[in-house]
Structure 1
Amino acid sequence: MSTSADHGPLMRYIKHGSLVSQIALGLVAGVVFAFFLPEAAKSVALLGDLFVKALKSVAPVLVFILVLSSIANHRQGSKSNMGRVVALYLVGTFLAALLAVVVSFIFPVSIQLQTTTESLNPPDNIGDVLLTVLLNIVDNPVGAILNANYMGILAWAIALGIALRNASDSTKEVARHLSDAVSFVVRLVIRFAPLGIFGLVAGTIATTGFSVLWDYARLLAILLGCMLVVALVVNPLIVWTQIRRNPYPLVFTCLKESGVTAFFTRSSAANIPVNMNLSKKLGLNEDIYSVSIPLGATINMGGAAITITVLTLAAVNTLGISVDIGTALLLSVVAAIAACGASGVAGGSLLLIPLAASLFGMSNDVAMQIVGVGFIIGVLQDSAETALNSSTDVLFTAAASMHQDQHA
């Protein structure tokens, strides 16, 4: 028997209203709350921490079970089109780095390099990044899940999924039921996104503020401008080559329903459940998105490529180092490769800047000063980077899935 409260407009909105509009409401409420009650806003930051923690906790299990189940129950003869998705990821990341090089040449910017010591341990070369990724792949499955090592999780899930392809139907059915159960938990967590976003926004503004960013406004403008161009020009062009129709409805859907959440969680891994949910909502092929979404969270790093390139060239301009076309193109390649390995290195894209800086003979001390600048502007830079990376995971997955449907 239902109560009168169940039929009230507020309860109907909470239970059945648009999640995007609820998140937007939580965003605005967080800004207002932090402005008028900054001390109290620091306390509600706990809501944001709990939301991000819940997403990060469920994501490894979701990826492992969903990928395993999808491969074990894969229909014989059907194509997953994963090769096309990976190609889109790599092309998109390289073009993002190339755009950052071009924009940095047109609008050169310098940064103040000060001596700042950070207890960081960046990789020395591309080989170290690739070795880290390789070691992550062969990690033991329990350790991979506990440490949210998605390369290891993917490797074990794919291997076990393939091994279970010849299992009995009842065993496959168990895997499918486990997948449904974990997906239910994910949907439950995502329903709390408005409260989580409210806590994240209120806590961030009350604690950090944005006044410190004004000194770096021009550098931020270059970074955010490049990311906007990739999101609104480069990515739509790539998608158009796959679906041959107006890509912007799909682009805006991905930015609205994936990018907004990723902007505030600042974690591609935490946004995996959100992207899985959006992919299902878009009616995409589960054989594709169950693998491509977690894979994209590890190798589809257009935003990271932009960050590495722009900050490196800002240091190059500051030091008065001349850059020819060949070196600029090489920087694009190195930044793209480094970005693809960003998830395998603690600290993400910022700690991979020394790799790109080494192309121009910069010492590690100078490179780490660039990293320090990155941390200063990280409030907006990291948020925008994650939003671009994560929303593009769904965008390119959808493009490949739609391309497959068109040519089926």
Structure 2
Amino acid sequence: MENVLFWMVIFLPGWILIDGSEMEPDFMWHPRKVPQVVSESTFHLASPWFEGDAKLVTNRMCGIECQREQPAPSLSELEDSLSYETVFENGTRTLTRVKVQGLVPEPTPNSTTTAAPIRRRRQVYGTDSRFSILDTRFLTSFPFNTAVKLSTGCSGVLVSPTHVLTAAHCVHDGKDYVKGSKKLRVGLLKIRNKGSGKKRRGSKRNKREVKGGDGREGTKGRRLQERARGARQRKPGGGQRGAEGRPSFQWTRVKSIHIPKGWARGGSGDPALDYDYALLELRRMHKKAYMELGVSPAVGKVPGAMIHFSGFDDDRADQLVYRFCSVSDESRELLYQYCDAESGSTGSGVYLRLKEPDKKKWKRRIVAVFSGHQWVDVQGAQKDYNVAVRITPLKYAQICLWVRGDAAACAYG
């Protein structure tokens, strides 16, 4: 049934509306000059314990109105939160202090709250509107092939040939790096080509046992072959090597992890949801297409206020799950929405599809990181949302610095 629904979404005219093309020709990306986040000094820190828990645990959030009424943080507060930790695969850790240059205050978004659907179960609202991407032609095609799986159980998105953007809580709980992040790996989807498997020694002997004897040897041979086949399909780290022509994961070690100090507070305070994002640098370069970063525009400048993201939800056993929905509300740092999602999808890259200036082409860019489920105060009442962390101009500058290593190369976003 899910396959039928997916094909309907792909080929019916509604897909054109969902994906944003030909709906509003004036909706487009507007490159803008962003502040610079410049590395000032780097210090060595003690190695982490790697004993944290990969679950999103924060104190009850300040409500949406509360966030709008709060004064913008001072420059020194911003520089402290945007300073960042880097932990390397050998367990060493550093802290880099930054300076912010060319900062222009951002306007506070106006409310776009709409009537919220009834919440039936955690993170899935009403009818489950997710689509499992099962056809290998789509799994290996942009934008679905940019989604990756983390060995800690989260999702992420490729943002360069060697970098993955994900949620900070997938690798750090605000106090310490989580269990498993010391030897963190990233799983990239691939399709195992027919005939690419290597023959195991003794395969001829097994075939002879199947053909000959009184039947007992044949049974034994079949059992040996099944056992060997299962061993070939199992892969350490929670992934599966698929059968011929089926999707599987190619696991790559992570060379380093960058986390903003606004999240990695350690013992000095609670992590701030506004900074629930992290960048992973892979040990090896991949050859897949990746998604470029973009500054998150105001919801009113997005066709239908529609966002999209794909990840590996826990309840669908290594299937890539795609979803789309309209944003219900926004603050300076967060997007509030009811996109159906389960655990495992956190860390997914939230993207928009808008038109390129002076071109007829449409382009997708990552504008937020899916963080997960939260309860917030809305006009004195508690409401639950699935929340994504927006890529603001400052966050764009910081993540771009992590990716490119040169603040001067990150002037426009």
TM-score range, shorter chain: under 0.3
TM-score (norm 2): 0.23
Larger radius of gyration: 2
Higher strand share: 2
Larger RCO: 1 or 2 (CA < 8 Å, sep 6+):
1
TM-score (norm 1): 0.23
Higher helix share: 1
